[in-house]
Structure 1
């Protein structure tokens, strides 16, 4: 281990030691990172060992800093309400115990997992907006070489609220990509790549790829010069894939050059295959995160279909009413 790495680890340890509770909880993690340096040196070059070691330190600092920040925030809030009077403090203490009970397991991870669930809700909402506006655009759009550009021009200039609908469709499509990428990072930081989050993790990755595919398949649908030449360039990149490149290019373009058949193929891929896949993946992804989030709740507050059925009125009670 280089002298710089030793000094860096020492500075991090001294900084976190100012917070005794967090230092007591996470000091073993820091020791494991430092002790793993010797193992890395046996299997990796020096530059790669240094890179891995510093990345682990960086992740450790980000993780612990989030925990410290949230703990300090809770302490400030509790002291603030405590100073407002004993009866208010009593109410706050009860709410504090109820609300933070699932968070006490690991506050930082809970926040990230909760954020991932909220992002999944936003993704499903954006997918719904893109689907609805896409259906409205499909009433007027013509996927042909002669009609694509003219139909879009008509939508913008002649159809009522056509510009708004087209703008909403494009914004929802691009925002879905941004949120999907952000959620992948959030799920990674929240350790949602573990086996217990397998369904949510895999569906999130495929949702991100599907959102990118939706944007890519819409390149040529406007039938403008920029989209035309960009799509032609990307078709040549697809054709360079070993073994299947030429066949895949012919499937996308319809064989030969870019023509009305290409527009019809990309329109079908965009409007039916990828759009339906994005909606289904959004639903699966959100459902997986919601059900997994139940594990953070106390036993009495978890959602259960059996409990829901047992609480429903029986047929005899309904008849008597």
Structure 2
């Protein structure tokens, strides 16, 4: 083991040693990782053995840090009286957080919904600005975008904001689905918020898909052609859907106009309406849940 690996392992051990209770659980694992260095050097080249060893240290560090964070969170919640107990005993093997855990996740979901609505607004506003100059035709699409970037004041910035807002909407919508699932917001009482969240994620993906061909570049053209062929291979409805989207047997100006119409009018308006519905449902249901939780706490103080 070279000096750098020794120093790295020492730093990891020094960090974990700050938490004596956790150090007792993980020190054998760290020793096993350190002793595996010699075995790795025998089986692999030095550079590969170093990479494997450091990857094991990194994984160990992330795992231990996550465990320490969660244990500290549980202790804090216990001190704040957030664990549901009966006659001083914890219910079940896994303690259930009263209020705090779900409340935090629901607040995060609400904040994410506000971010999504903001991104929808940014995408819509920049889209309207771009629509003044964009030409949804096979001959004018690429040229008009180049003109927006090169000749229109702040055109490149507006186009970049539009693209970033669209991509960010997908990312935040997917993250929010995970957060809502962890907060058990898929239950019937949260039906509107849950369904609208999934609908918003799907709409954001559809917006990104319809925007593929709008730049009228080779990458977008051939990607859309392949995807339309895949769509056309679906039984019964596939050929009809492909013809509706493409406007005929091939990709042409009709295809561009259909995608532009779907992107700018149908899906964009749907995304704004769904995001408003989603945020409203989250706020309303969160207020209802907090009211019910306060009533339960008052009725069952333990």
**Which TM-score band (shorter chain)?**
0.5 to 0.7
Structure 1 SS opposite 2:184: coil
Q: Is 1:242 matched with 2:216?
A: no
Match of 1:153 in 2: 146
Match of 1:229 in 2: 222
Q: Is 1:72 matched with 2:46?
A: no
Instruction: Indicate conservation of the 8 Å contact 1:70/1:107, yes or no.
Output: no
Aligned residues: 217
* Map 1:164-243 → 2, pairs under 5 A: 164-243=157-236
Superposed displacement of residue 286, structure 1: 0.2
Superposed displacement of residue 107, structure 1: 1.5
Instruction: Indicate conservation of the 8 Å contact 1:113/1:187, yes or no.
Output: yes
Aligned structure 1 segments of 4 or more residues deviating by more than 6 angstroms: 64-67, 75-78
Structure 2 SS opposite 1:242: coil
- In 2 relative to 1, CA 193–75 (structure 1 residues): closer, same or farther, beyond 3 Å? closer
Structure 2 SS opposite 1:140: coil
* Map 1:2-151 → 2, pairs under 5 A: 68-73=71-76, 105-151=98-144
Match of 1:264 in 2: 257
What's the CA shift string for 1:80-139, capped at 9, x where partnerless? xxxxxxxxxxxxxxxxxxxxxxxx733111111111000000000000000000000000
Superposed displacement of residue 69, structure 1: 3.7
Instruction: Indicate conservation of the 8 Å contact 1:70/1:108, yes or no.
Output: no
Instruction: Indicate conservation of the 8 Å contact 2:141/2:215, yes or no.
Output: yes
Structure 2 distance, partners of 1:145, 1:182, is 36
Structure 1 distance, partners of 2:235, 2:181, is 32
Q: CA RMSD in A?
A: 2.7
What's the CA shift string for 1:230-275, capped at 9, x where partnerless? 0000000110111100000000000121111110000000000000
Instruction: Indicate conservation of the 8 Å contact 1:67/1:108, yes or no.
Output: no
Q: Which runs of 5+ in 1 are unaligned?
A: 1-17, 19-63, 79-103, 302-321
| TM-score between both structures, scaled by the size of structure 2 | 0.67
Structure 1 distance, partners of 2:243, 2:203, is 21
Match of 1:276 in 2: 269
| TM-score between both structures, scaled by the size of structure 1 | 0.63
Match of 2:248 in 1: 255
Structure 1 distance, partners of 2:72, 2:270, is 39
Instruction: Indicate conservation of the 8 Å contact 1:219/1:227, yes or no.
Output: yes
Structure 2 SS opposite 1:173: helix
Structure 1 distance, partners of 2:261, 2:72, is 49
Structure 2 SS opposite 1:241: coil
Structure 1 distance, partners of 2:73, 2:191, is 27
Structure 2 distance, partners of 1:293, 1:65, is 30
Instruction: Indicate conservation of the 8 Å contact 1:128/1:279, yes or no.
Output: yes
